């Protein structure tokens, strides 16, 4: 029963409050067979929240009262997790989703609590062919001079690491190769490789000739 003005104001504020939720996804890429943790957090403690999780607007599951699809406790299944202060007061849910190898495309994931929704776009992991610029098969350089920037490029998500290899066990890490005070012993075949979670791709070999 509302007994005064303050009680009435608090009741109205409670009715008008829309819980703010925030979805984050880890890792931030889609790779077939690699689990994604969809973490849905609330801006306030919620009693027995019913949260649905979706992929491209299609329901993939829900958590209610710290139970997977309202049945199995999140303590007993790797499918879900809840962060709580007690048995009833919750501040976040996590749904673990594993994309199939046959469904490697960008996707929009969402979590919904009542009238509140949070969505996030997640890109598929990718690694393109590796190219070198300038696109030459032979580079010539004068001994003791500097061979200016040769750039290694690949379309990568998540970001790639780049490494150059060459004669005499030469190794250099980075996407831009610059050889200063170059010697005739540096002559030979070089190439670049790009690596991320998808795997490793290599550029074509190119020849550096020091005169």
Give the residue with greater pLDDT, 54 vs 8: 54
| Each residue's pLDDT tens digit, 30-57 | 998 999 999 999 888 788 789 999 999 9
Contacts of 45 (CB under 8 A, 6+ apart): 85, 89, 90, 91
Q: Is the pLDDT of residue 11 over 90?
A: no
According to DSSP, the residues that pair with 184 across neighbouring strands are none
Q: State the DSSP string of 25-46.
A: EESSEE-TT--EEEEEEEEEEE
For residue 134, is the peptide bond before it cis, meaning its omega torsion is within 30 degrees of 0?
A: yes
Residue 51 class from Cβ within 10 Å (0-12 exposed, 13-18 middle, 19+ buried)?
buried
Give the per-residue pLDDT at 65. 87
Q: How many CB atoms lie within 10 A of CB 166?
A: 19
Nearest to residue 211, comparing CAs of 150, 139, 148, 151? 139
DSSP state of 185: G
Structural domains of the chain, ranges and CATH numbers in brackets? 5-124 (2.60.40.10), 127-210 (2.60.40.10)
List, for residues 61-105, the tens digit of each pLDDT value.
Answer: 999 988 999 999 999 999 999 987 665 577 899 999 999 886 679
Asked if pLDDT for residue 9 goes beyond 80, the answer is no
> pLDDT at position 80, please?
95
Spatial distance between the Cα atoms of 171 and 165, rounded to a whole number of angstroms: 5
Specify the pLDDT at position 44: 81
Contact, 194 vs 161, CB < 8 A? yes
- What is the pLDDT, as a whole number, of residue 13? 38
Instruction: Map tokens 């699809």 to a residue.
Output: 69
**What gap in Å lies between CA 19 and CA 117, rounded to an integer?**
9
Q: Is the pLDDT of residue 8 over 90?
A: no
């Amino acid at each position: 029963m509302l007994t005064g003005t303050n009680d009435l104001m608090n009741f109205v504020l409670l009715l008008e409050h829309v819980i703010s939720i925030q979805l984050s996804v880890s890792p931030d890429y889609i790779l077939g067979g690699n689990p994604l943790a969809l973490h849905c957090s609330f801006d306030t403690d919620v009693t027995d929240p019913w949260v649905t999780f979706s992929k491209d607007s299609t329901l993939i599951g829900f958590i209610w009262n710290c139970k997977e699809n309202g049945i199995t406790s999140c303590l007993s299944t790797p499918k879900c997790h809840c962060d709580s202060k007690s048995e009833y007061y919750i501040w976040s849910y996590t749904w673990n989703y594993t994309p199939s190898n046959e469904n490697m495309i960008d996707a929009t994931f969402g979590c919904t609590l009542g009238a509140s929704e949070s969505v996030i776009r997640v890109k598929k992991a990718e690694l393109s062919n590796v190219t070198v610029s300038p696109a030459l098969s032979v580079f010539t350089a004068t001994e003791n001079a500097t061979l200016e920037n040769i750039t290694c490029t690949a379309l990568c998500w998540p970001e790639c690491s780049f490494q150059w290899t060459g004669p005499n066990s030469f190794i250099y890490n980075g996407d831009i190769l610059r050889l200063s005070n170059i010697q005739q012993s540096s002559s030979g075949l070089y190439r670049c490789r790009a690596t991320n979670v998808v795997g490793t791709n290599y550029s074509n070999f190119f020849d550096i000739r020091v005169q």
